[in-house]
Amino acid sequence: MGLLTLYLSGQLIYLLKKNRHKFQDKMDSIANNGPLSIISYCASSILMTVTNKYVLSGYSFNLNFFLLAVQSGVCIATIATLKAFGVITYRQFNTDEAKKWSPIAFLLVAMIYTSSKALQFLSIPVYTIFKNLTIILIAYGEVIWFGGKVTSMALGSFLLMVFSSVIACYGDSSAAKTAEDTFSLYAGYFWMLTNCFATASFVLIMRKRIKLTNFKDFDTMYYNNLLSIPILLVCSLVFEDWSPTNVELNFPSDNRTATILAMIFSGASSVGISYCSAWCVRVTSSTTYSMVGALNKLPIALSGLIFFDAVVNVASVSSIFVGFAAGLVYAVAKQQQSKEQAAPKLPK
């Protein structure tokens, strides 16, 4: 049996060496596959949103900065392990590159922190609907920085996105029964608004920096998470309550293990969203990346209705489908715009 195993292993190594060029070509093809990057980003974003909602809302968790630091730490540990085994590769740490990348790390911290705060106060359906507003900011940012264009159909989709957000706001407000519920809603709207601006800034500036540095996906992932860890830890120590009472509240003895495992799992899911975000931005565009996020809102919102105690009424359900329709209209608008840009121009 030992000789047979050794023989089969030798044959496998021989075949891999013989076909390594074909294998490398196949991997390069996958790495530059736009539709595959979009599908992967959708799946990872659903997992990430649901996992974070579970951690942030399930056990009265309020150490948001610490949770995000754990996620970044798990992400770094994962890709470092993969690199040690030769599965992936990324650039060695460079001080000059880190200094140039540090503003993006601060924007990443702002984006994920405001996202976690909004998700803490808002239901998943409302959170996902309001996230559509980021598309509008990114689209006009691309007009300013990358020579983009907003067509009349795209403008119509933006109006639908705003309309769906208004409906979602009305549905949640009508379900608020106490002053505390109303305060939580307005706090969630505030964090959601700041998250929209932080996300748009992060996506646009990261795309510009990727073009300047020629970073690959794992380079982006490595620097984003590594540089964000010290920022998150300092913010956690300065702004969050680490008293024994609050630690016991966040990690109660009866479900401490479940909380810690959920945090680690959310960190593992952040590996997927970190890579797939950078992958999707690189092989498509920042606007396409945000548009895919809009189309992805329907399954995410439905998961919130199914797995969490979200408000279910005519307004909340209608806002989900209006937001999804807005994403479809925007997708068609971008497709038509791409065809117009690709069509040969007749000489005047």
- pLDDT number for residue 149: 75
- pLDDT number for residue 8: 47
Helix ranges (DSSP H) in 19-151:
20-31, 34-58, 64-84, 95-121, 124-131, 133-145
State both tokens at 23. Answer: 């294998």
Which are the contacts of 188, defined by CB distance < 8 A and separation ≥ 6? Answer: 117, 118, 120, 121, 122, 126, 127
CA nearest to 337, candidates 137, 134, 201, 139: 139
> Burial of 225 by CB count in 10 Å (0-12 exposed, 13-18 middle, 19+ buried)?
buried
- pLDDT number for residue 286: 60
CA nearest to 114, candidates 193, 207, 226, 229: 193
- pLDDT number for residue 233: 92
- pLDDT number for residue 16: 47
Q: Which residues of 133-152 are buried (b: 16+ CB within 10 A; e: fewer)?
A: bbbbbbbebbeeeeebebee
Whole-structure pTM value: 0.67
- pLDDT number for residue 252: 78
- pLDDT number for residue 29: 62
pLDDT by 10s per residue, the chain, length 348: 444 444 445 554 554 455 555 545 555 566 666 677 777 777 777 777 677 666 666 556 778 788 888 888 888 888 888 888 887 788 888 888 888 888 888 888 888 888 888 877 877 777 777 777 888 888 888 887 777 777 788 788 888 888 877 877 777 666 666 777 677 778 888 998 899 999 888 888 888 787 777 787 778 888 888 899 999 899 899 888 888 888 888 787 777 787 788 778 777 776 777 677 767 777 776 656 656 665 666 666 666 566 556 666 677 677 777 877 877 787 777 767 666 665 555 444
CA nearest to 130, candidates 49, 59, 207, 44: 49
